[in-house]
Each structure stands twice: as structure tokens, then as C-alpha cells.
Structure 1
Amino acid sequence: MKRSKIEQIFKQKLTSIEYLVINDTFKVVEISSGVQNFTEFSSEAILNKDVNEVFPELVGVEYILTEILQGDRQYFDYKGIARLTASNSTLYLDIYIIKDDEIMSNQLLIILEDVTEKMLLEQTLIQRNNELELLFSRLSASNQYIDKIIGSMADALVVTNQAGKIKTINKAAEKLFEYSENDLINQHISTIISDNQDQVKIISEKLISTGESLADIELICKTKTGQPINVAFSCSNIPTEIPGIKDYLYIGRDITDKQKIEQERKRVEKRLFAQYFISRVLSNSVTLKQALPKIFLSICESLSWDIGEFWMPEINNENCYLKCLDIWFKPYLKIPEFIEVSKQTVFQLGEGLPGKVWQTGTPQWSSDLINDRNFVRSQVAANAGIASAFAFPIQYENEILGVMSFFSRQWQECDEHLLQTMLTIGNQIGQFIQRERAELALRFEQEQTEHLLLNILPYKIAQRLKRHPSTIADYFSQVSVMFADIVGFTELSSRVSATELVEILNEIFSEFDQLAEKHNLEKIKTIGDAYMVVAGLPKARPDHAVAIAEMALDMQATIAQYNEETNNSLSIRIGINSGDVVAGVIGTKKFTYDLWGDTVNIASRMESHGLPGKIQITETTYQYLRDRYLLEPRGYIEIKGKGEMLTYFLKGRI
């Protein structure tokens, strides 16, 4: 009558839900027709089995089932369990355990729900969301990078469509033509070119026919006030998002004073070369220490300077100062005094050329070092024949990460354009330093994560899980499993606070962890005041039973020593069994390495049916240990779910 009533209820549910009924000894007494879809057993084989054999996930929660039977707990659920099906695909299920006195008496109803589609959909949505966020982040960073490049260009930049209407200009173009961006956008390029429109048309036709860049096209242009200026343009076409449609790119420089402009052009080329070379150096370097000599060489050789220094802030006893991290000089220079003084000198905020850059965050120039009162090393500079210097900040956003200074033995007039170029280079180096810091921090976090992962999972399992994040299930034919439970802990909990209780448990289990490491065993988990450890996996070992026996005896000694030191009367009950198990990682969140199989269940029974202060082992384990240890027969005892079993007590070493 009960069976039909349950079936009648479940016929109204979805097909993804099945059920089974267990009695007060946790044996399966009733199932629905589709239960075999959630387990490897056939329908006939499930009946009368211990529920832990059908669903190993319930091992260790027997006391919860007892609480539900007794009415002390309403229900228990276990969600997101992953299982491998016969087709080697993953099935996810949720388990709900309840008791309904109106339907059954002294029995529990276990409801199984197939949630595979829901779990897979959730994983897919999370993955797609992460991919979209990454794509948007990269696109945004790319656009910002391009905008920074365009904005930092010293030459005027104008982009038009094929009809000649202006689409984009940069700050240099605004300054050159004295127009604001709003004044020129959507205006024809003839607004700034005095030559007739035929000249613009000829340029457009050449760009279309050749498909290449046109260099040094000199045009007469006009500013907003009508002032004529000579501008040399380099022109090229660039593809747009629409196939077959191209825009025209004009990069121009003022050549009104040709001689002056020619000199400036050469200087610009040198600066651009230095900037380009430094960009290449930074992109091909891993650390700042590796990049600095090449940066010094690039600036000194291309811009005709003789010495380069890099200063970095340091903190010592809350005193912050600049210290010379590296110095470079041309090989033919003989300046040992200057080099030695530079290495030993430190600068406070605002002191000396580097200190002033550090204080203001702006580039500084000194054309006459010998008579510069703010230059601390003026005398050694005079001895070395050094005349001029400049320095610029290495910064990321608003943080000064360092200062670079360069020296020349020739008198050098202040070059504002060079300082602006160096400011850009300083920002590039600052971004590199910040990236290096971030990578170091990331490596540290990865090492911490790796350390944490290895505290949770065995090394081999952790590596496999990182390479292939999926269910792991390995079969091991010969292992020994131990369960240990602290006796007297419940009575102790009534005498001390919860915090003290946890501290005591942590102290004892920490000692057990050291023993597990000493004997090269794999700790599986702790459940309350119970401790589970295994020998013989994930790396097989022939002495697995001996290793677990040594661990058990050492644990007894640890408890005895703890009692002596703390005046407590705790004891430990230990159970050991040997045999085959399946070990691995299941689920998708909060990974744990666990064991399944009859060997595990019997080891748990050895502990729960054992005696305080005793190490109870099975006949199987006895065969491994009988020649090396003192073993006392206990005789046959009734084991729940197994019947009578012959067991022994491990007393000590022979």
C-alpha cells in the first residue's frame, strides 16, 4: 500500500525525478523504475543493498540519516553530484532525503533529480560571459592605446574620407592650424589648404592608383587667422570597416622656415628612432634590469649624450630617498670618480637634479652643471668634463617610480621637444615597471594558489585537474585506509568553549598532519573529530599496510603525550582495512580528493565498532602485518551491513 502511494505521487512529477526508500538500517527496500540511471547497479541489484554502496557520497553522514529518522532533523540535501555514465559523459544529480510519517513508518525517502541540463547550461553561460568580458576589455584597451598614440604625436594628423571631409585630427593639428577639433570635423580639407582643390584631387587619385604612401608633398596651408604656412605632408590610404572604402591619412609638419625645420626634422627622426627602439627593447625584455643597458645605449647613441643613470626610490627606516640603481657610460670615457660618487650618493625629495624631478614630476634641464647650485655633484662633474644634463620622471599614472638622468660633455641648449619625448618614454618605462610588478605579484599569487591547491589535493591530481578540469576517478588495487576518532571529545566540549575546542582539535590534527607527511601518506579529510588517511595512493607502494600501521601507533603516542602535557584524558579509536578503492575528484566546485568502495566502508566500520584506545584491523590487513607487529585476535564481531567479521587489535611493533 505504501509503495503504490509513493508511486502515485511521483507519477505526477517530472521524468527527471526518481526515488528509493531505505529502512532504519539504511538498506534499500523500495525503488522507482528509473533509479538505475543514477547508479552502476541494475534495479534488482539495488534492493536490500546498503545505501552507501549504491551512493558512496552518503558515506559518513549516517548520523544525519539517524537524526532524520528520529525527527531531530527535517531533511538533508546533497546537490551537484557528478557521475560518469556508461557513455563516458557526465551526469549531475541532486539528492534529497526526507521522512514522511503519513506515507511510511521508520523509513526514509531519498529523491533523486537529474540536473545535468541545468548544470551544463549554467557552466556555458558563465564561460560565455567571461569570454565577452575579456573581449570588451581587450577592445577597450586597444582603443585607449591607439588614442594615446595619436594624442602623443608631435606631427599634425588629419584623416578624411574619400570625399575630402575631415573625420579626425589630433592635438598637434589643432595647434598648427589654430582650429579646434569641432571647427574642422566634417569640413572639407580645403579649409586648411590654400592650394586649389585640384591639388587635393591629384593626391587622392595618386593614393587610389598607387595604393601606397606619398611622402614630402609640400602644400601651402592657412591657419584660422589666415596666416599662410608651408606644410610637408605624408599621405596614405587606410582601409575602413566597409570593404572597398578607404580613408586618407595626412601627417604634416610645418616647414615655413625650411632650414630650421630640416634641423628639427632630423632631431624628430632621432627622437622617434629612440622612442621606437625603446618600445622594441621593452617589448622584448622580461625585467627592468635586462632592459636598462639597452635603453641607455639607445638614448645616448641616437641623441648624442654620454652618460645615463637610473634612480629609484627606496625606503629605509621610514626615510625615503633616491638611490642610483644603474649607470651607463660610453666605453672610451675615463670617469671613475663620477661613477663612484653617483653610486654612493642619495637624494632627498627636491635635492639635486633627480630629486627635483622626483618632487615636481616634470622633466628638468641644466645646460651648465658647474655653475648650477642645485647640482650636488658639480665638482666631480667638472673633473670629468661634463657640461650639461637633463632628467625626466619614470611614472605610472600619478606615481613616480624612478628618475632617469643623462649627461653630455658638450654644452647642450634646453630642448623642450626632447623633454616632451623623454616624458613619453618615461611613461612607457613606467608602464613596463608596473607590468613587471603586476607579473611578480601574479606569480606570487599563483605560487600561493599552487601551495593552497597542494594542501587540498595530491600533487599529481592537482596537475591533472589544472590541465583537464574534469571528473577524475582512478582505481587502486592495493591500499590501506584508516579512520580515527577522538574518544572523550564530546565530554570535553561540555567543559570548554567552542573556540578552545577548535584550538585543541587543530593542535591534535596538526600533529597528525605532520605524521602523515613523515610516513608519506595521503590525508583525505577530517569529519568533526574524525581523521581519515590512506596509504598506497596516488602513488602505489607495496608497504601500504606497514606505513598505515606506523601512522596509527604514532597517533596513539601523540594522544598520550598530549594528555600528559595538558592533563586531559582523551583517547583515540582507530580502524584499518586494506583492499581496492576508487579515488578521485568529482563535482565542479570546492574540489576534494576522496575515496569510494567497500574497502573504505569496512575501514569506517572498524573504527566505529572498535574500542577506545585500540587499533582494530581486518583479516586482510592482518595478513600484511602479522610478521612485523604484535597482533591480538579480538574474534568475530557483528559489523553493520557485513555480518560477522574476524578482527584483530594492533598492539605494537615486534
Structure 2
Amino acid sequence: MALFNNFADSRIERHYVESERTARIPASRALLLIGIATFISYLTLNPLYFPSEGVVAYNIAAALFMAILASFLLLTRTRFYIEKPWIDLVLFVGLTVAMIMLIEALAAQAAITGISRFGMAIVNMGILVVFASIGFVANTRLFLFWAAGLLILYVLFLLQADRSLISKVYTFTNFSTFFVFATYVNWDIDRRARKTFTANRELDAEKQRSEELLYNVLPEHVAARIKSGETVADSFNNVSVIFVDVVGFSTLAKTMPASELVKQLNRFFLIADECADAHGIEKVKTIGDAYLAVSGGTSSEAGDALAAIAFGHALIERLEEITEAEGADVKLRVGIHTGPVVGGVVGSNRLAYDYWGDTMNIASRIEGTADHNGIAVSAATYHQTVHEVDYGPPEMMTLKGIGETEVYRVIR
């Protein structure tokens, strides 16, 4: 076990000190209020037994002590207290001075209290050092510095006291017991607090990793809804659905080793992800060698059909650059349809935000009509983009499960 608990990283150490001092504020305030209440009770009791001059001397010392405690209490309401732990040393030096005044005031009333100056010193200094062991928060080094100074003062007091050697030895042994106990309490509280702080940091880091994984498959606001217990179901009136398919992938799969096939497919999907991010497109999922995305869904631009077409162009151009450089014969087909969809999350395992509806089916069928490295769109997408995109003439296609459908091909 280290004598002084400390984090090697100064930023972590500062964070620990500030968080611990913040967390202990309620307990520190309670301790200060107990101290103030104790002095108030004595201020009420003393006039019943002490002569007037004794009451005045005690009240002056007690007023100074309570003023420092009240200042301490007010400081706990400021950022200064949290960020400047050295203030504990200043305050307890002041309390030490006030305590010495109290001891002297009470020693003058030894005939009434039956407790000598010698006895008052050990009792009150012992109380002060135990009080300080809790009052120095996340501050073990400064506590030890203050406590060592107090111990030296007490030794000097014993040396000049008119007592026998054995009395001084026993008195010092008693006080040092207070000292050791208080030092251990302060050190152990700090040690345990640091362990808790470290555990909480690890829990926060693990939570952050878990949330990053969750947000990697779900939009952040959707994940928040699921964590709150909400059923995630949304309706969208104007979503451009994009289906991208690798032409001849089945044939390619028969001639290429599995590891190389997965490597090439992964490269295509990574490129598609980059293009999607660049054009504000929301990736939905991959289906075999197909890539499904939307524009206007839960985390993309509202019904931006132009962005969908721009994404298709960018993806085809990137793939053409690679295949030309490598001499590979890989081509894409892109189909886009715009219309209403339903989105949401179903099930409890391997969660994903998915979309359903005829718009999805139509986009999938239109993709099958596109030219190699070409983009085909529905009439709905065409009418939203006709002023910004060049199209060939309309073509009537019979799509499986859909029927007669007007299809437009984008001219590159």
C-alpha cells in the first residue's frame, strides 16, 4: 500500500479531488453544523457556572472558532472550495489558534470544571485532530502536514509543562493515539474513495463503449427511446429508398476464395459507408451483396431525393476508379424510389432500426432494371429531381409483384 495515494495522471488526480470534494460537501456541512451547535450549547451552559471574566474569555475564543466554521460552511457553496483544496490547511490553522485560546480559557476555570490545563489540552487537541481527519477532504498530504505541526506544538507544550516525566510520557502516548487513529481515518477514507472513483471511471468507460456500439447500429435518439422502454415505431411520408447491388456477385463467389471474397465485399461496403456519410444518407443494412440505404429517414435529410442520386453517382465513380486500377470486372446497379415508409425496431436481439412498406419493395424491383453502373429511379423520384438531374425517356416496366411501373434512367 502506498503511503500517499495519488493518480499518476495529473488530470485524473484533479478530477478525483474535485469530484470527491463535491460528493463530500453534504457530510462536511453536517460536521461543521455539529461543531457550531456544540459551541452554542456551551455558550448557553457556561454562564451558569463560570464567573463573568471566564465567560467572556471563553466566548471570545468560541466566537472565533464558530466564525471559522461558518466561513468553512460558506466556502462549501463555492467552486473555490472544490478547486482549491489547500484552503483546508488555512482554515484548520485558524481552528488550531482558536482551539489554543479555548484551552487557555477553560484552563482558567479548572477549579470549577475539575480539568487541568494539561487535561484540557489532550482532550481538545484530540477532538480537533479527529475532526480534521474528516474535514481535510481528498487532502491527505496537507492533513499530515497540519497534523505533524500540531504534534510538534503539543510536544513543545509538554516539554514546558510542570509535570513528571512519566505523566508527560503517558500524556504523549494518549495524544499520539488520537494522532495515529485520525491519520489512518483520513488516509483510509481517501484510499477507499480513490478505489470507488477508479471503479466508477471503469464503469463509465465500459458504459461509453457499450453506448458507442449501440449507436453504431442505432441512431442515438432511437437508442435513447429503447433504453427508456418506448416502443420505437415511426411513419415517414417522403423517404427515398436506395438499393445497390453488385452485378454478378454469385458468379464471382464461385471463382474466388472465401477470404478474398469477404475482403472485397467488405471493401465495397466500406466505400458505400463513406459515400453515405458524405451525402447525408442513412445506411439501413446489408443484405448479402446488396446495400440498403435511405434519404429522409430517422437520421438523414428529409426526403432529399437529390442526395440519394448523388450518393449513387459517388459510389459508382469510386468503384469504377478501383476496378479500373485493378483490372477487375465489378459493376453496380442502383435503384431509387421515393414514398412513404414505416420505420422502427423489433425484437430484442441484434437490434437494428429497419424500414418496411411498398416503397422498399418498389425500390428493390427498380434496382433490377438499372443498367450496369447505372441508376434507375421511379416516377416519384423523377418528379422531385427532374429540374436538377438529366434523365432518359420514361420506360414502362413490369415489375414482379408490383405491376406496370414507370422507370427513368439517370444520364451520367
The reply to whether TM is greater than 0.5 is yes
| Residue of structure 2 aligned with 1:422, choices 177, 180, 183 | 183
Residue 382 of structure 2: aligned partner: 622
Separation in 2, partners of 1:595, 1:543: 14
1:501-525 per-position Cα deviation (integer Å, ceiling 9, x unaligned): 2221121111111111111111111
Q: Secondary structure at the match of 2:208?
A: helix
1:277 aligns with: 135
Q: Is the 8 A contact 1:616 1:647 kept in 2?
A: yes
In structure 1, distance between residues paired with 2:334 and 2:385? 16
* Match among 550, 558, 577 for residue 337 of structure 2: 577
- The counterpart of 2:249, out of the listed 455, 472, 489, is 489
**Aligned-partner Cα distance in 1 for 2:307–2:210:** 30
CA distance in 2, matches of 1:544, 1:558: 22
Counterparts of 1:649 and 1:464, CA distance in 2: 39
Give the conservation status (yes or no) of the 8 Å contact 1:474–1:582.
yes
Paired residue secondary structure (1:588):
coil
Higher relative CO (CA 8 A, sep ≥ 6), structure 1 or 2? 2
How far does residue 432 in structure 1 lie from its aligned partner after superposition? 1.4
Aligned partner of 1:447: which letter?
Q
Total equivalences in the alignment = 279
**Could you give the per-residue CA deviations for residues 359-408 of structure 1, whole angstroms, max 9, x where no partner exists?**
xxxxxxxx9xxxxxxxxxxxxxxxxxxxxxxxxxxxxxxxxxxxxxxxxx
CA apart distance, 1:594: 0.6
- Name the residue aligned to 1:28: none
Query: Aligned-pair distance for 1:541?
Result: 4.2
State yes or no: 1:530 paired with 2:304: no
**Within 5 A, what are the aligned runs for 1:195-594?**
264-278=122-136, 281=137, 291-292=138-139, 295=140, 300-301=145-146, 304-305=149-150, 415=176, 418-466=179-227, 468-538=228-298, 541=301, 544-594=304-354
Query: For residues 296 and 306 of structure 1, do their structure 2 counterparts lie closer, same or farther at Cα, with a shift above 3 Å needed?
Result: farther
Give how far 1:464 is off. 2.6
- Deviation string 1:218-244 (CA, Å, 9 cap, x unpaired) is xxxxxxxxxxxxxxxxxxxxxxxxxxx
How far 1:534 sits from its partner (Å)? 0.4
Shift of 1:303: 6.2
Deviations 1:221-273 (A, max 9, x none): xxxxxxxxxxxxxxxxxxxxxxxxxxxxxxxxxxxxx9988665445423321
Distance in 2, Cα, partners of 1:305 & 1:584: 68
Instruction: Note the alpha carbon deviations across 1:397-449, whole angstroms, 9 max, x for none.
Output: xxxxxxxxxxxxxxx99946533442332222111112222222223223322
Per-residue deviation, 1:620: 1.0
- For the residues of structure 2 that align with 1:612 and 1:301, how far apart are their CA atoms? 81
More helix by share: 2
TM-score by length of 2: 0.61
C-alpha separation in 1, matches of 2:384 and 2:410: 12
Q: Distance in 2 between matches of 1:502 and 1:271?
A: 69
CA–CA distance in 1 between the matches of 2:397 and 2:370? 10
Residues 270 and 303 in structure 1, CA contact (< 8 A), matched pair in contact too: no
Report the Cα offset of residue 549 of structure 1. 0.3
Alpha-carbon contact 1:632-1:648 (below 8 Å) kept: yes
Contact 2:280/2:301, CA 8 A, preserved across alignment? no
Contact 1:524 / 1:594 at 8 angstroms: preserved in 2? yes
Q: Could you say what secondary structure the match of 2:392 adopts? A: strand
Match of 1:600 in 2: 360
- Stretches of structure 2 lacking an aligned partner (at least 5 in a row): 1-115, 156-171
Residues of 2 paired with 1:635 and 1:274: CA distance? 87
Letter in 1 for 2:135: F
Cα distance in structure 2, aligned partners of 1:536 and 1:637: 26
Q: Is the 8 A contact 1:271 1:303 kept in 2?
A: no
Question: CA, structure 1 residues 471+450, in 2 after alignment: closer, same or farther (shift >3 Å)?
Answer: same
Structure 1 residue 609, shift from structure 2 partner = 4.2
Cα distance in structure 2, aligned partners of 1:593 and 1:568: 34
Q: Superposed, which structure 2 residues align to 1:78-89 within 5 Å?
A: none
Q: Is the 8 A contact 1:473 1:584 kept in 2?
A: yes
Matched with 1:188 is none
Measure, in 1, the Cα distance between the counterparts of 2:196 and 2:204: 12
**CA-to-partner distance for each residue in 1:100-151, whole Å, 9 max, x for gaps?**
xxxxxxxxxxxxxxxxxxxxxxxxxxxxxxxxxxxxxxxxxxxxxxxxxxxx
Tell me, in whole angstroms, the C-alpha distance in 2 between the residues paired with 1:498 and 1:263. 85
* AA matched with 1:440: R
Return structure 1 stretches of 4+ with deviation > 6 angstroms.
Answer: 258-262
TM-score, normalised via structure 1 length? 0.39
Aligned position for 1:44: none
CA contact (8 A) 1:460 1:538 kept: no
Instruction: Please name the residue that 2:93 is paired with.
Output: none
Return the letter of the residue paired with 2:186.
I
User: Per the alignment, do residues 497 and 271 of structure 1 end up closer, same or farther by CA in structure 2, a change over 3 Å counting?
Assistant: farther
Deviation at 1:297, TM superposition (A): 5.3
Cα separation, 2, equivalents of 1:471 and 1:609: 37
Q: 1:543 to 1:555 in 2, by over 3 A?
A: same
Q: Is the 8 A contact 1:270 1:302 kept in 2?
A: no
What is the rounded CA distance, in whole Å, between the counterparts of 1:614 and 1:306 in structure 2? 87
Q: Secondary structure at the match of 1:631?
A: coil
Letter in structure 2 aligned against 1:271: V
Identity of aligned residues (%): 31
Cα RMSD between the aligned structures? 3.1
Q: Deviations over 1:556-588 (max 9, x none)?
A: 112101212332110011111001111121223
Residue of 381, 386, 393 corresponding to 1:633: 393
Amino acid in structure 2 at the alignment position of 1:277:
G
Deviations 1:319-370 (A, max 9, x none): xxxxxxxxxxxxxxxxxxxxxxxxxxxxxxxxxxxxxxxxxxxxxxxx9xxx
CA distance in 2, matches of 1:526, 1:261: 82
Q: Does 1:651 align with 2:406?
A: no
Q: Which amino acid aligns with 1:422?
A: T
Query: Aligned AA for 2:200?
Result: E
Aligned residue identity for 2:194: I
Instruction: Output aligned runs, 1:112-261, within 5 Å.
Output: none
Q: Which amino acid aligns with 1:270?
A: L
CA spacing shift, 1:634–1:612, aligned 2, 3 Å? farther
Tell me the distance in 2 between the aligned counterparts of 1:624 and 1:263. Answer: 90
**Matched position secondary structure for 1:638:** strand
Structure-1 separation of matches of 2:256 and 2:179: 74
Asked if 2 retains the 8 angstrom alpha-carbon contact of 1:274 and 1:299, the reply is no
Task: Give, in angstroms, the shift of residue 551 of structure 1.
Answer: 0.3
Shift in Å, 1:599:
0.7
